[in-house]
Amino acid sequence: MAQVTFLVKLIMRGSSKKVITKEDWEKRLNDVKIRKEDMNKLVMNFLVTEGFVDAAEKFRKESGTEPDIDLSTITDRMAVKKAVQCGNVEDAIEKVNDLNPEILDTNPQLFFHLQQQRLIELIRNGKVEEALEFAQEELAPRGEENQSFLEELERTVALLAFEDVSNCPVGDLLDMSQRLKTASEVNAAILTSQSHEKDPKLPSLLKMLVWAQNQLDEKAIYPRIKDLSTAKLEDPSAS
Amino acid sequence: MNNSSGSNHDCISNSNSNSTSSRVNSNSAGRCAADRRDLGSHFLALARLGSARPPGPADEGEESPTELNTINSSGGFLVVSTDKLSVKYTNVDLHGHDVGVVQANRPAPVRRLAYYFEIEVKHAGAKGHIGIGFTSENFKMRRQPGWEPNSCGYHGDDGLLYRGHGKGEAFGPTYTARDKVGAGINYATQEFFFTKNKAIVGTVYKDVKGPLFPTISVHSQNEEIVVNFGQEPFAFDIKAYEAQERLRQQATIEKISLPPNISYGIVRSYLLHYGYEDTLRSFDMASKSTIPPISLDQENGFEEQEILYALNQRKILRQLIRNGEIDAAFSKLRDCYPQVVQDEKSATCFLLHCQKFIELVRVGALEEAIKYGRVELSRFFVMADFEDLVQDCVSLLAFEHPKESFAGYLLEESQREVVADTVNAMILATNPNAKEFQGCLHSYLERLLRQLTACCLERRSLNGDQGEAFHLHRVLNNSNATR
């Protein structure tokens, strides 16, 4: 009965789209064979790229999946990331250079952002004089080379002009999100230097699913998965 | 008929007593048995998958053009060389209906991102009236590609593009002797593209439907061209072109935003589903100490109650099977989940017995393996569902180096994993609160990946089968795909 009213609804709408019932769609889904080892690789790739080193080690043992990167390098990378997240930028820079000095040498933008973060931390800690000195000696010469660096520098130094930084227009620089942004930039640069992709594949595949469903919507009516977190098929005849 | 409850009923029928479920339960005994069979056959199919080679970068069984079609060419005006890869105009051209035109032996394959072929002009002849392009099957074989409907061609003498009639449009440079010129179809953008000496000349919307044949033409005395269907390296870097095209698609897809922490949730549910308990504990510990901590609260919608079921038992059984300790796995199952191994002819028992046999072969205990096979495997020989797998198992005995034989896949780690996954699913199915049978069978991750694959396939089939299919295996093994 539900099917009939569904079809009537479609005819009323004058839709020319192909209609695929839940039953037919489930048959198609059953024809798709996903290899377990491929799913395991996908999960391993996520653990490794996101830096879950212990979990990656356990997963290797429990599933027999080999990681696509030397697990020991994850620990170093996560230490750098954490240092930035906690505001220990000087420490982070040192650690990056220990890992591979080329990373900062070949990434002037990353190096500038790290130095900028260092300046932000000095200002946060009320070390005004030290901050000014650091800005003049380390950051200003780079601003002369590059217009966008200069603008960033001006924005950051502007923090010093406000008594109450929580209410000033550049206050967002003091947010946690700024540290996270810088941390993820360093993380990506280290991964790239290790010939590894900087992003895990899983989120890209999830986006691809959303995209593929949107594309198919133009041509067909079929059971979609609306909520990725439950992976539940919606019944097109129920709507 | 009520179809909607088909996949949504209780597997264990004694857990509910309200009125809606009793209606479902009236036939649930039959359904339950059927579902168990489904579950078993699902894993048998996975066990067989091990013997199939993973999909490579192959073109899904479609054949590509390899040479020129000498039967359907405008005979009399041109001569095709004996290797069927070059043509020469030997006549004197008098009018527009004595073009020397020739198609490839096959149409351009469509189940891929792009198709491409090239020509090299050896001699420009009297006038250089050379053309390259695509034509449909019943093209008039005395005309330049592009002059007639359902065709498209890029011409050397004027550099114009012709699409379906005799009047060309401004397109690119002219080409002549020693130039390498290519024609391609981009199925993702539905465009023809042409190249000259390694560089793209231009693209144009492909308004022709149906199979398209690579086509080349000569139309003045002594014009001679050689065609390259890929038997030689192309001048144009088609691999780079494809990579760029994928990046362009990827960039569009990356703009889509996802709910926060959705990937964490899906990975976590995967670990729970398959009983990777140690990994899960480490994952949870680390998630708490990240900055900011990742919290997956109820509002994210993850339903984990069902896959939490018997987590530790499932982990232990997985470990036993992965270590090849099948006897221990059997006895633990008999103790804790007797219903899983009750039916000696079930797929679960079959896979466990096979694995035990395989483990004996692995350690070289062949006599013991034979004895075990006689007792435990022989009954499966007469059952159609199991026959091929039993035979593969037994044939391991015939080889001095079974690992290198065609049945060597049985000795892979992945085979143990399949058996462990079967037992895992069967235990999940004993949960009296299991709402959905699908939940025992497929993790959220697998369901999402199946949906993704099915959507891509359906979209392609509604698009005249044109374009690339989605293969997880290929995505994972192409590490530059997302860079």
Q: Which of B203-217, B345-359, B469-483 has the weakest average pLDDT? A: B469-483
Whether domain B78-250 has CATH 3.30.360.10: the reply is: no
Question: What confidence score (pLDDT) does residue B18 get?
Answer: 38
- Residue A62 contacts B, CB cutoff 8 Å: yes
Q: Taking all residues of chain B, what is their mean pLDDT, rounded to a whole number?
A: 84
pLDDT band at B483 (very low <50, low <70, confident <90, very high): very low
Q: pLDDT tens, B44-95?
A: 888 887 777 655 545 567 899 999 988 876 666 778 888 999 999 888 777 7
**Which residue, B168, B165, B235, B160, is CA-closest to B202?**
B160
Chain A residues near residue B446 by CB distance under 8 angstroms: 34, 39
Look up tokens 């051209």; give the residue: B93
Q: What is the pLDDT of residues B171-202, one digit of tens each?
A: 999 999 999 999 999 999 999 999 999 999 99
- Output the 3-class SS for A165-198: HHHCCCHHHHCHHHHHHHHHHHHHHHHHHCCCCC
Q: Cα(B23)–Cα(B17) distance, rounded to whole angstroms? A: 10
Structure confidence at residue B269 as a pLDDT band (50, 70, 90): very high
With contacts defined as CB-CB under 8 Å, which chain B residues touch A54? Answer: 282, 285-286
Is the Cβ of B34 closer than 8 Å to some Cβ of chain A?
Answer: no
Q: Which of B107, B18, B43, B30 is nearest to B424 (CA)?
A: B43
Q: Which residues in chain B (197-236) have CB-CB distances under 8 A to chain A? A: none
Looking at the partner chain, which of A82, A215, A229 has a beta carbon nearest the beta carbon of B459?
A: A215
Using the Cβ of B43 and the Cβ atoms of chain A, whether some distance falls under 8 Å is answered with: no
> Band of the pLDDT at B303, cuts 50, 70, 90?
low
Starting at the edge strand that comes first in sequence, how are the strands of the sheet with B131-135 ordered? B100-103, B213-218, B131-135, B151-155, B160-162, B169-170
Q: List the single range of B34-38, B161-165, B369-373 with lowest mean pLDDT.
A: B34-38
Q: What is the pLDDT of residue B295?
A: 66
Q: Which residue of A has its CA nearest to B249?
A: A208
Between A and B, how many residue pairs show a Cβ–Cβ distance under 8 A? Answer: 202
Q: Which parts of chain A register pLDDT below 50? A: none
The boundaries of every CATH 2.60.120.920 domain in chain B are 78-250
Contacts of A206 in chain B (CB under 8 A): 258, 262-263, 266, 448
The reply to whether residue B418 touches residue A203, judged by beta carbons under 8 angstroms, is no
Euclidean distance between CA atoms A30 and B91, whole angstroms: 60
Average pLDDT over residues B116-133: 94
Q: By the CB < 8 Å criterion, does B464 face chain A?
A: no
The complex scores an ipTM of: 0.84
Q: Is the pLDDT of residue B6 over 80?
A: no
AA letter at A6: F
User: What is the per-residue pLDDT for B82?
Assistant: 85
Dump pLDDT digits (tens) for B359-390: 999 999 999 999 999 999 988 888 888 888 88
Q: In this complex, which of B263, B322, B473 lies closest to A200 when CB atoms are compared?
A: B263
Name the DSSP class of A161. Answer: G
Residues of A in contact with B279 (CB under 8 A): 47, 55, 58-59, 62-63
CB distance A162 to A168 below 8 Å: yes
Q: What are the b/e assignments for A197-218, b being 16+ CB within 10 Å?
A: bbbbbbbbbbbbbbbbbebbee
pLDDT level of residue B34 (50, 70, 90 thresholds): low
DSSP state of A239: -
Q: Which residues of A touch B463 (CB under 8 A)?
A: 219
Residues of B in contact with A59 (CB under 8 A): 271, 276, 279
CA pair distance B468, B422, nearest whole angstrom: 32
Cis peptide before B292 (omega within 30 of 0): yes
Gap between the Cα atoms of A178 and A168, Å rounded: 15
Chain A hits for B283, Cβ within 8 Å: 47, 52, 55
pLDDT at res. B400: 87
What pLDDT does B239 receive? Answer: 94
Tens-digit pLDDT profile for residues B407-450:
999 999 889 999 999 999 999 988 887 777 777 889 999 999 99
Q: Which segment of A23-27, A211-215, B24-28, B343-347 scores lowest on mean pLDDT?
A: B24-28
pLDDT in tens, B90-118: 887 777 788 888 999 999 999 999 999 99
Instruction: Report the chain B residue with the minimal C-alpha distance to residue A210.
Output: B256
